[in-house]
Structure 1
Amino acid sequence: MPASKRPESGPLARAFAAELRAALARQRITAKDLARLVDLTPAYVNKRLRDEAPFTLNDVEVIIRALGGAWDHVAYTAIDELRVVPAAEEDEDDA
């Protein structure tokens, strides 16, 4: 894979981005504000919030630290949602 080609966002990355978008909206924090807080470019953050590329684990760690400990629920909720999806898909396969 060429170095410039990033892997597609997987289910956990998409769930994390969705939870982060929702949490940012609830707190009225823009992507630009988030980028400034975590010392990333707005383009980098926006690309990941749109699921065009995955956040790295380092990104997740920096985001949670920058936004405060109360924001760790974003990661936990994303993981919980991921656990529910496969079970629902198995039920559809059995039908």
Structure 2
Amino acid sequence: MSMPTGKQPEAGPFARAVSAEFRAVMAHKQVSGPQLAKASKISQSYLSRRLRNEVAFTANDIEAICKALKVSLFGVLQAAVKSMASNQMRRPEQ
């Protein structure tokens, strides 16, 4: 799988919610970063930077990770959106 190169923007709120959902699934299924990297055919360093929210996942990354974790892409995205909505409701108006 081809990986983007060059300067990547920091992960935004949705990207952070997606990575949080992936971390939760990984913990639940007891899948390590190296195991997920191998199963998804994504380099370990590339994956870990995204799981740490340094850089956002691409749509291709999300598909590959969902397939490797054997989880629904729709379910992951839905959980991420729900998490974002919940976080926004807890924040005071600015």
Q: TM-score interval w.r.t. the shorter chain?
A: 0.7 to 0.9
Cα deviations across residues 10-43 of structure 1 (Å, max 9, x unaligned)?
1010001111111101111001000001111100
Q: Which runs of 5+ in 1 are unaligned?
A: none
Whether the 8 Å CA contact 1:23–1:74 is kept in 2: the answer is no
Secondary structure of 2:31's match? coil
What is the aligned partner in structure 2 of residue 4 from structure 1?
6
Which structure has the highest helix share of the two?
Answer: 1
Q: Percent identity?
A: 33
Please state how far the C-alpha of 1:70 moved relative to its aligned partner.
4.7
Matched, 1:81 2:86: no
Q: Which runs of 5+ in 2 are unaligned?
A: none
Which aligned segments of 4 or more residues in structure 1 are displaced greater than 2 angstroms? 69-75, 83-89
Give me the CA root mean square deviation. 1.9
TM-score, normalization: structure 1?
Answer: 0.82
TM-score, normalization: structure 2?
Answer: 0.82
What is the aligned partner in structure 2 of residue 22 from structure 1?
24
In our comparison, the structure showing a higher alpha carbon Rg is 1
